[in-house]
Amino acid sequence: MQAALRGDPSAFESLIRSVQRPVYGLALRLLQSDAEAAEVAQEALLRAYQNLHRYDDARPFDLWVLAITRNLCLDLLRRRTKVRTEELEPMKEVLPSDEASQEEGAIAREERQSLEEAMATLSVEDREVLALYYVQRRTTKEIAQVMGCAPGTIMARLFRAREKLRKKMTTEEAPR
């Protein structure tokens, strides 16, 4: 980190490689568009480079870059005029793939699709907190740093988001 702060391009490149996937993953889950997620991820990494002099090394670098990514995503979502549900990208990391049998694989795909559809109906805030916690395996303290609130608030948001998701999933499974 110190080498990157001193201006060593290869050190910064190494830092970027370590955060590229989480940055893109968060953007994809919030924006639900591969193209926009790639664009926002690139912009977030560029801004991290341009503002490296503002980085406070008391905070983990990856959380700082995730906060930049989050803010760019929220800005883009505010500018959108309509929701584009047809661009929903699969959340492959949420449910593990099952190679045991074709039947189990089909069930897993159906469950994954149901989960994706239920997640798409949640608010950006709910998707964000669930993605950071379950997909990126962040702690409530780390999520609080990214989202700029208290860990207790994150715990409450997680609880509410899980409940909303559970209701949507059980409503979807109930006979019609």
pLDDT digits (tens, 9 = 90+) for 55-85: 888 888 999 999 999 999 988 888 874 444 3
* Res. 7: pLDDT tops 90: no
Quick one: pLDDT band at residue 175, thresholds 50, 70, 90?
Answer: low
Q: Would the pTM of this model clear 0.95, i.e. be above it?
A: no
Q: Where in the chain is the domain with CATH 1.10.10.10?
A: 102-170
What angle separates helix 102-120 from helix 151-173, to the nearest 10 degrees? 120
Report the top-level CATH class of 2-79: mainly alpha
**Which amino acid, 145?**
Q
Q: Please, what's the b/e burial string for 1-12 (b: 16 or more CB within 10 A of its CB; e: otherwise)?
A: eeebeeeeeeeb
pLDDT in tens, 95-118: 444 444 566 666 667 777 777 788
- CATH class in words for 102-170: mainly alpha
Q: What confidence category does residue 132 fall into, taking pLDDT thresholds of 50, 70 and 90?
A: confident
Question: Start-end ranges of CATH 1.10.1740.10 in the chain?
Answer: 2-79
Of the candidates 124, 121, 161, the one whose C-alpha atom is nearest the C-alpha of residue 140 is: 161
SS (H, E, C) 34-85: HHHHHHHHHHHHHHHHHCHHHCCCCCCHHHHHHHHHHHHHHHHHHHCCCCCH
Kindly report, residue by residue over 145-157, the tens digit of the pLDDT.
888 899 999 999 9
